[in-house]
A and B are shown apart, each in its own frame.
Chain A
Amino acid sequence: MSGDAILEIRDLKVSFRVRRAGRKYQVQAVDGASLSLAEGEVLGIVGESGCGKTTVGRSIVGLVQPDSGAISFRGGEMIGAGGTKLREMRLNVRMVFQDPYASLNPRRTIGDAVAEAGDINGFFKSRAERSAAISATLTAVGLDPSFAARYPYELSGGQRQRVGIARAILPTPSIVIADEPVSALDVSVQAQVLNLMMDLREELRLSMLFISHDLGVIGQISSRVAVMYMGRIVEQAATRAVLDQPLHPYTRALVAAIPKPDPTKRILGAIETGEPPSLFKRPPGCAYAARCPLASDRCLVDVPQLRPAGTDGRAVACHNV
């Protein structure tokens, strides 16, 4: 699997210091996650709020400093890299953010936003080249080139998110980290933006890390998915396998809890899901044990490691499956 991996994350650990009621706490946001993204693949990361999925994405683009672990892009280490090597990685690994309203500077034009990566890194050789690139990129995301002169407040949420995507593909990167890119959008707009991302992935041959809490969206766009819980990856497999036959008890709960758009298949009252433990008080054993119907004594003391389960590189971190 690592042979053709374009991005490889090994044993990533990220923690934050938080102050609550005068006391200092250490929150382990990511607790030893390993992932590999193959060339041209879309890997989904799914999990509930606070599971660390966004922190993984932010670590890759250098917005947070990991405590330990390795993130390598095409075999080169990204953590602590500098100079031209870092520049090359920054241009090659780009991020699309969740909130289309907060992710654009209200005082800068759409054109400036789209060209920002190129401007920062001295990519454009002339003004003409720059404006041609902006026009071409806006067209590629389904916006009229005249948008370049406009300001964010003139755009709808869907249009802003297209700008957010345009900003991530000029100049064309190898990898796009998409952090909940459609969660803030209406269903009908969500479908348009998802289609756009699928088209761009194909045209530009992008590899993509698609972070979402919505298994429906993940199922649509990604071929493989990693399920995160309390900073760890608990299951990793082909998306279809996860949706049709989840192995880890947490994945099962997650799949079962998706509100299915079919009134004849009601789940209310039929499933018990429990509450996740506080991030400040991490249990010693498996973090899911307190909610888990399969939990045994071993789960309370021994943290399960991700181990292969079945074919297709499927892996699961549970003592009881």
Chain B
Amino acid sequence: MLSVHDLTVSIGPETAPLDIVAGVSFDIAKGEILGLVGESGCGKSMTSLAVMGLLPQPGPRVRAGRVLLEGSDVTQLQPWQRVEAGHGRMAMIFQEPMTSLNPVRRIGDQIAEAVKVHDGTSGAAALLRARELLELVRMPDPAMQLSAYPHQLSGGQRQRVMIAIALACRPQVLIADEPTTALDVTIQVQILGLLRELCNRLDMAILFITHDMGVIAQLADRVAVMYAGRIVETAPVEALFDRPRHHYTRGLMDCMPSRNSGARRLPTISGQPPAPGTVGAGCVFASRCAGVREPCRVASPPRTGVANGHEVLCAFPLNGGVAS
């Protein structure tokens, strides 16, 4: 459904570009959720904006690579141009729904507006569809909520409204950028459940971006781990949690408190991620890696397939937790 090849997003002048996303590739099939996980500044949000065709202007730009939607190249097209060219549809939801909703307009009107844009239907029909969408996102009492204002809803309900608006264009690909980070855990579990259900029912491809390994384990079918603008490991979710092959992935899992409760100290990853532009030759993770060897510092590591659908960007990948 969605296929990203060697995507490179850069800032700075043409002559000396700084790559904040460097050669990212992944595919998402219909009915599949790909979890893109990484820490702040690793380039995961930039990747999603580039895929969506929504990079802020002026600023970062796609310097190389392609984004294919159902086989059509949409890399340089804005979302509406993609729709006009008949290349299929993508929608996006964000972390803070309040900033994306108009505070002085009723929920129903805001959803209906999105419906009108995409379906070309008018007044009553659009409102009817808005109500269907609210039912689809399992909003309690949808008929009533059509006339509510955003501030009258809870954080979880607002996120449901955002999902409803995103669904108005009948997207084939939904990009969710940390949609549950601002929510309480009891609400988060509901929204995650909803996304899983919608993915299955509507046969959508979902790119789910998060920093939370727990959320990834709960929701994703496959996982891409991102570090310093690169995807360092891709694997089916069970394989990744069962046998992380990249030292960074392993480090991220180890330092989660919930995997360690009772331990006196948490394992940590020393140091900090490199700033864009400070990446020299060699592996981007070399300076923080527990299993670093001499070649890592001089040559970029190869992308190796270690098992079916399991790739790792490491010259000396972990083997079941022990360096090979």
Note all chain B residues with C-beta closer than 8 A to A220: 257, 260-261, 263, 266
With an 8 A cutoff between CB atoms, is A258 at the interface?
Answer: yes
Q: Whole-angstrom distance between the alpha carbons of A257 and B187 in the complex? A: 8
Residue B109, interface by CB 8 Å: no
Asked if residues A213 and B185 are in contact (CB atoms below 8 Å), the reply is: yes
The answer to whether B188 has its CB under 8 Å from any CB of chain A is yes
Least CB separation from A270: chain B residue? B193
In the bound assembly, the distance between CA atoms of A240 and B15 in angstroms comes to 58
A216 touches which one: B192, B216, B261 (CB < 8 A)?
A: B261
| Chain B nearest Cβ from A272, distance in angstroms | 9
Annotate A253-279 by CB proximity to B: 1 below 8 A, 0 otherwise: 110111111111011110101111000
Indicate whether A14 reaches chain B with its CB closer than 8 angstroms: no
A217 touching B257, Cβ below 8 Å: yes
Q: Identify which of B116-124, B207-215, B296-304 touches chain A.
A: B207-215
B157 touches A192 (CB 8 A): no
Q: A254-B185, A263-B237, A264-B238 are in contact. Are A191 and B214 (CB under 8 A)?
A: no
B88: Cβ under 8 A from any A Cβ = no
A49 interface contact, C-beta 8 A: yes
Q: Is the CB of A188 within 8 A of B269?
A: yes
State the CA gap A262–B212 with chains docked (Å). Answer: 12
Q: Does A68 contact B (CB under 8 A)?
A: no
Known A219-B257, A258-B258, A268-B196; contact A273-B189, beta-carbon cutoff 8 A: yes
Q: Do B156 and A195 touch (CB < 8 A)? A: no
Chain B interface size range: 35 or more
Q: State whether the Cβ of A186 lies closer than 8 Å to any Cβ in chain B.
A: yes
Interface flags, B30-46, vs A, CB<8A=1, else 0: 00000000011000000
Q: B185 and A191: CB pair below 8 A?
A: no
Say how far B54's CB is from chain A's closest CB, in angstroms: 24
User: Are B253 and A191 in contact, with the CB atoms below 8 A?
Assistant: no
Instruction: Please name all residues of chain B whose beta carbon is closer than 8 Å to the beta carbon of A259 when the two chains form the complex.
Output: 185, 188-189, 192, 212, 214-215, 217-218
Tell me the minimal C-beta distance from B104 to chain A in angstroms: 12
Answer whether A263 and B261 are a contact pair too, CB < 8 Å, given A253-B186, A257-B189: no
Q: Which residues of B contact A266 (CB under 8 A)?
A: 218
- Are B218 and A213 in contact, with the CB atoms below 8 A? no
A190, CB-defined interface residue at 8 Å = yes
B residues less than 8 Å from A240 (CB atoms):
261-262
Q: List residues of chain B with CB within 8 A of the CB of A275.
A: 140, 154, 156-157, 187
How long is the Cα–Cα vector from A271 to B187 in the complex, in angstroms? 11
A9 interface residue (CB < 8 Å to B): no
Docked Cα-Cα span, A169 to B268, in Å, equals 23
Q: Using a Cβ cutoff of 8 Å, how many contacts connect chains A and B?
A: 131
- CB contact list, A181-219 vs B, under 8 A: 186-192, 194-195, 198, 213-217, 219
Central interface residue in A157, A188, A190, A268, by most chain B CB within 10 Å: A188
Could you say which residues of chain B place their CB within 8 Å of the CB of A276? 154
Q: Which residue of A lies closest to B185 (CB)?
A: A257
B46 CB to closest chain A CB (Å) equals 16
- List the B residue with the shortest CB-CB distance to A291: B186
User: Which one of B39, B155, B189, B192 has the highest number of Cβ atoms from chain A below 10 Å of its Cβ?
Assistant: B189
Q: Any chain B CB within 8 A of the CB of A12?
A: no
B28 interface residue per 8 A CB criterion = no
Interface centre among A187, A198, A216, A261 (most CB of B within 10 A): A187
Is B94 part of the binding interface, using a Cβ–Cβ cutoff of 8 Å?
no
Q: Within 8 Å CB of B154, what residues of A?
A: 275-276
Cα–Cα, bound, A219→B265 (Å): 12
Residues facing A in B174-216 (CB within 8 A) are 184-190, 192-193, 196-197, 211-216
B57 close to A (CB within 8 Å): no
Least distance between B237 CB and chain A CB atoms (Å): 4
Check A11 for interface membership: any CB of B closer than 8 A. no
B26 within 8 Å of A by Cβ?
A: no
In the complex, are the beta carbons of B213 and A216 less than 8 A apart? no
Any B CB within 8 A of the CB of A158: yes
Contacts of B269 in A (CB 8 A): 188, 191
A215: chain B residues within 8 A (beta carbon): 185, 258
- In the complex, the chain A residue whose C-beta lies closest to that of B270 is A192
A195 to B257, CA, bound (A): 11
Q: How far is the CA of A267 from the CA of B214 in the complex (A)?
A: 11
A213 to B264, CA, bound (A): 21
Chain A residues within an 8 Å CB radius of B216: 261
- 5 tightest A-B contacts by CB? A259-B214, A216-B258, A191-B255, A273-B186, A48-B184
Residues of B within 8 A of A (CB): 39-40, 140, 154-157, 184-190, 192-193, 196-197, 211-220, 237-238, 241, 251-253, 255-269, 272
Given contact pairs A156-B272, A262-B217, enumerate 19 new A-B contacts (beta carbons under 8 Å): A48-B184, A158-B272, A186-B39, A187-B213, A194-B266, A195-B265, A213-B184, A219-B258, A253-B186, A254-B186, A258-B185, A259-B214, A260-B258, A263-B218, A268-B189, A271-B189, A273-B189, A275-B156, A275-B157
